[in-house]
Chain A
């Protein structure tokens, strides 16, 4: 009788669920009937060739784009079509593929804004700056706190993007290529950080990534998008050795050669 209550919640309710998500830009279907689920406290990696619809997927989930059809549910609540700030206050944070810092503010103020508006609506300025300082420390940005984000190199700029997202104390984190342009050592520490978010804080993560090595290192599951559709989903190694995935990435010729060798 005790068995059902011990069933991990993961098996019952996904924390993030998209159903038949479609987004058209004129005649182009950037997303076409995408249905995904991410269990609470797990990391879903989303990969796919350029133009597969990965960023569009994140933009539709966070309300920056309205879906043409389909639904988005976060923690069982339908948030389809809600404005981005409302979704943010449901403790959903994101990073942008092209980093979007507030250029007229310091690094510290950038992080504090997320803390002021993200997690609890009533957070005072003082509390927000304290939380921001903790986040800067955690992401190794303390030395850059007073700098302008416009002058940061790419690695620091990506960590700032992540610090801002984390300062909102998210339960769901959507990462849009946070590893792009990073050096190996930076990728390694980013992988450690994202794992620790899942393992010690139970954050649910959807990570769009081009760096395959990194996505395999963090993902519990991987989905492949191709031409706006889900090609396949599953365990990382199984997905990467799927011939359809190799074909989507490298073209038919390479898939055949790979299969014959």
Chain B
């Protein structure tokens, strides 16, 4: 291992150890806030793979979140699976779904792709709402966590660790992609799809694979979220706001970078939380103004600005 690789491994170990030990220093409410931040780090990073690296703005990302959550709830409630079996199977099922819809939808470019995926998410919500015998319909479905059925609820610290693991997984996958040949192919597609194809990039395969990976990670998070919430409803699990939050986080942090979605998710969650506590009446309005300001002042995201001033290069030795 080179010296920089050792330095990175050490740095990562310190961060992981600090994150694992963090809950012992916080109140229960604070643990919940950080858990939510970690969930959004994972979600933003997942969206970043298709929307940031590949440049296909998926406005229906919440469909994968909802499918992951509902697949887990249904498997646990109706098939008596444990959460730990339902979690990966939900993600695999959602990955298959993403591959199937990706093949036709990724032929669309720009706004057309965004609108089509938005339609998929809205449609999935209606499907889940109307399959009452399976999903409980609009009344929701409750994941079994007591009475010897299902899996015991993990508790605040348990869910903290679960979402920490998922956030780490998402960041790890994004890092691998960013540094791989596949990642160069995705960035090429993002910047000029015709030129990418002329260079020999199998654009269809790369795009579908990016959407599939993105969907699988999103479904893992949805699955964990359903278990955490215990009772889930279609309106919440397929809420378009969740997609919007992911996109906003990626855009204000820096699309197509690994660091950007982390900065965006952490920043937006904490600013949002701060405003909610200090300006309970008008916090949404102020948050909106903050987002508009950031996008206007830093069009390539907060990390993009740091990168241009050389600050980022100093702390982030490799381009990610």
**Chain A contact residues, CB within 8 Å of chain B:** 62-64, 83-86, 88-89, 93-94, 96, 100-105, 109, 112-114, 116-118, 124-125, 128, 164, 168
Contact = CB atoms under 8 A, between A and B. Distances in A.
B223 to A, nearest CB: 34
A236 B219 CA distance: 63
Nearest to B182: A116
Contacts, number: 80
A85 B202 contact: yes
Contacts of A93: 198
23 contacts: A64-B194, A64-B197, A64-B198, A85-B196, A85-B198, A85-B202, A88-B197, A88-B199, A96-B198, A100-B192, A102-B187, A102-B195, A103-B191, A104-B190, A105-B188, A105-B191, A113-B196, A113-B201, A114-B199, A116-B185, A117-B201, A124-B181, A125-B184
Which one of A113, A118, A128 has the highest number of Cβ atoms from chain B below 10 Å of its Cβ? Answer: A113
Nearest to B197: A84
Interface in B195-222: 195-204
Contacts of A128: 181
Interface string B158-199: 000000000000000000000011001101101110111111
B203 A113 contact: no
A79 B187 CA distance: 27
Contacts of B51: none
A102 B197 contact: no
A112 B197 contact: no
A96 to B, nearest CB: 7
B198 A113 contact: no
Contacts of A89: 200
Contacts of B187: 102, 104-105
Which one of A86, A114, A124, A128 has the highest number of Cβ atoms from chain B below 10 Å of its Cβ? Answer: A114
A88 B200 contact: yes
Contacts of A102: 187-188, 191-192, 195-196
A128 B256 CA distance: 22
Contacts of B180: 125
B185 to A, nearest CB: 7
Contact of B199 (A104, A118, A125): A118
Contact of B198 (A62, A104, A109, A116): A62
Contacts of B184: 109, 112-113, 116, 125
B197 A104 contact: no
Contact of A118 (B181, B190, B192, B200): B200
Contacts of B192: 100-103
A169 to B, nearest CB: 11
Given A85-B203, A113-B188, A125-B181, A94 B198 contact: yes
A8 to B, nearest CB: 30
Contacts of A101: 192, 195
A104 B256 contact: yes
